[in-house]
Amino acid sequence: MKQSVKMIVGNWKMNGLTADLGEARALTESLSDAPASCRVALCPAATLVAQMAWALKGQGVEIGGQDCHAEPKGAFTGSISAAMLVDAGARLVILGHSERRQGLGETDSLVAAKFETAVAAGLEPIVCVGETLTQRETGQAVPLVTAQVLGSLPDAAASHAFAVAYEPVWAIGTGLTPTVAQIAEVHEAIRSALVQRLGPAGTRVPILYGGSVTPANAGEILQVAEVGGALVGGASLKAASFLAIVRAAEPARVAADAQG
Ligand code: PEP
């Protein structure tokens, strides 16, 4: 299913100090001159969520967290709860990013538990899935990603707004990207898994692509069937490059590019 309104989400990861809020402000200044006709969001580090939400309030850019705890509250030193993100002004939350799955051992079932806690607090999760290079080279990309989608969503997911982000681990921060055919193959498999898991609600879930998206490749990637937007790391840190990706996602531009 083609999404008519694309979703472009910036993931600042462990980057960004107060001084860098100027980049977020520069983004909204450009968008106030020519409002985006797609959904735009930024997910800064937890320390900047409240400040960024305040600075960009009412300016068409949604704010998200990069993770939340699976429990709604309690003795979890150093963790952030879903309600804390909402309280700070976030509307979205990235869950199961490969940097957490690989570096911190997060499993599909933990991601599904975080999903339940996040939606109960009013957040819209972006559930990340993706294969490693070895998994791709051994023909496991589609079955692995399908299993991650099926395992990372709770039974109640059909009643909630959320997105899935396909992020091949080998494409994140490397400058490498899958071919358009590889992206299409995995996105179609994710769509099938969503319909299998959620029924008709699975046809409406946006499936984002993430992994070395830049202004140079965004136009081509965003017109692939079933690509409903992009999750952008490095290129989201500067207003100019993130804005160029946002512009590439606007319906008129996507339609024009598709016609060649
Ligand atoms: C990410 O971390 O979600 C990501 C896609 O990073 P990058 O765009 O830098 O590859």
Residue ranges of domains in the chain, CATH in brackets: 44-55+62-68+78-233 (3.20.20.70)
- Do 6 and 258 form a contact (C-beta atoms < 8 A)? no
Q: What percent of the chain has pLDDT over 70?
A: 97
- Do 115 and 157 form a contact (C-beta atoms < 8 A)? yes
Residue type, 183: I
Q: 44-86: per-residue pLDDT in tens?
A: 999 999 999 999 999 999 999 999 999 999 999 999 999 999 9
Q: Kindly write down the DSSP assignment for every residue of 211-259, as one continuous string.
A: SS--HHHHHHHHTSTT--EEEESGGGSSHHHHHHHHHHTSHHHHHHHHH
Q: Which residue's alpha carbon is at the smallest distance from atom 1 of ligand 1?
A: 233
* Mean pLDDT over the full length of the chain: 96
- Mutating to test ligand 1, I would choose from 213, 214, 238, 241 the residue with most ligand atoms within 8 A of its C-beta, which is 213
- Do 150 and 196 form a contact (C-beta atoms < 8 A)? yes
pLDDT for the residue 2: 45
* Alpha helices (H) along the chain: 21-33, 46-55, 82-88, 98-104, 108-121, 133-137, 141-152, 180-198, 215-222, 239-248, 251-259
Query: In this model, does residue 259 exceed pLDDT 90?
Result: no
Atom index in ligand 1 nearest the CA of residue 94 equals 3
Q: 145-193: per-residue pLDDT in tens?
A: 999 999 999 999 999 999 999 999 999 999 999 999 999 999 999 999 9
pLDDT for the residue 4: 66
Q: Among the options 124, 167, 226, 250, which is catalytic?
A: 167
158: tokens are 């059909």
Distance 209 CA to ligand 1 centre (A): 10
Distance CA 210, CA 128 (A): 9
Q: Which residue's alpha carbon is at the smallest distance from atom 6 of ligand 1?
A: 233
Q: 203-228: per-residue pLDDT in tens?
A: 999 999 999 999 999 999 999 999 99
